[in-house]
Amino acid sequence: MRMVNANEIYEKVKELIEYVNFNVRDDVLLEWKRKRNEEENINAKIVLDILIENSQIAKEKKIPICQDCGMVLIFIEKGEDVCIEGPIMDYLNKAVREVYLNNYLRPSVVKDPIIRENTFDNTPPIVHWDYIPGDNLKISVMIKGFGSENASMVKMLLPTTSEEEIINIVVEHVKNYGPNACPPLIIGVGLGGTMEKAVYLSKKAIMRPLFKRNDKEHLRRLEEEILRRVNDLNIGPGGFGGKLTALDVFVESFPTHIAGLPLAVTLQCSAVRWGEIVI
């Protein structure tokens, strides 16, 4: 059994949370630049130029990429042969608190959804645990703004729903909510499991590197078809028109019940603040 001290995890998670608030994901930035040169729509060019300049200013002057410094999501894949020593949840809370207070990041979390008093330190984060074979800890951090979170959805479909109907539902959703979610988007689709499992899968999906297709042929087909149709909608960067509505679409699936077909769609905004570390 490998022993890892919670304090060590805290130090590394703290660094990661800070880094992703000021740095756009490399593959995303590269793709914006590539598409900027291919794009013919003048509005799309204006928006992509602003997003590219924004990423430079954020990095060089250490100003958050987006004023919505989001709610912090932490995904931990814990090897079954690892033992964590110490109060890890306290440490994760502490990491969020210190990063947000020390780096002038906007506190956007309220203590209660009804009373709505700000916690002023952006705690608590949302933490998900998975158990995997081995003795490593893989920790991913996602900063989720609520412009795009509010534009996400979960829907319980009939088990007899066809591939074509699934594609139509996702495309129709992007058509209605995409312009408000700060495109260019990354679209995560979760299929199967239970309601909350589908949502979880749709969140995990947006962490996949750009252009890495699902191994399963039928899911790859869904990804490619949804991407093609979404980019034909003329939503475009910022919602002002153009071809680049989504950088990519990723579908993840899980076994489900004979009576159901849960579908979740997470829209990830252009400010893709994500990173992972392995301890």
Partner 1 sequence: MRKIYLPLKDEVIEDLKVGEWVRLYGECYSARDAAHKRIVESLMRGEKLPFQLEGSVIYYMGPSPTPPGRIIGACGPTTSMRMDPYVPILLEKGVKGFIGKGKRGEEVRTAIRKYKGIYFATVGGAGAYFSERIKRFQLVGYEDLGPEAIYLLELYDFPVMVAIDSSGRDYYLEK
Q: Using CB under 8 A, list all residues that contact partner 1.
A: 43, 46-47, 50-51, 53-55, 57-58, 61-69, 104-108, 116, 118, 120, 145, 147, 150, 179-180, 182, 234, 237-241, 269-271
Minimum Å gap between C-beta 160 and partner 1 is: 33
Q: Name which of 161 and 180 has its Cβ closer to partner 1.
A: 180
Q: Name which of 58 and 166 has its Cβ closer to partner 1.
A: 58
Minimum Å gap between C-beta 189 and partner 1 is: 21
Residue 79: phi and psi, rounded to 5, are -60, 140
Q: Name which of 52 and 169 has its Cβ closer to partner 1.
A: 52
Q: Name which of 198 and 272 has its Cβ closer to partner 1.
A: 272
The torsion of the CA quartet 214, 217, 223, 224, rounded to 10 degrees, works out to 120
Minimum Å gap between C-beta 178 and partner 1 is: 10
Burial code (b: 16+ CB inside 10 Å, e: under 16) for 124-138 equals: bbeeeeeeeeeebbb
Q: Name which of 46 and 169 has its Cβ closer to partner 1.
A: 46
Helix axes 217-231, 163-177, angle to 10 degrees: 40
Minimum Å gap between C-beta 57 and partner 1 is: 4
Q: Name which of 44 and 84 has its Cβ closer to partner 1.
A: 44
Minimum Å gap between C-beta 51 and partner 1 is: 6
Q: Name which of 59 and 138 has its Cβ closer to partner 1.
A: 59
Minimum Å gap between C-beta 7 and partner 1 is: 27
Minimum Å gap between C-beta 181 and partner 1 is: 8
Q: Name which of 64 and 188 has its Cβ closer to partner 1.
A: 64
Q: Pull the structure tokens for residue 121.
A: 């330190």
CB 204 within 8 A of CB 252: yes
Minimum Å gap between C-beta 76 and partner 1 is: 27
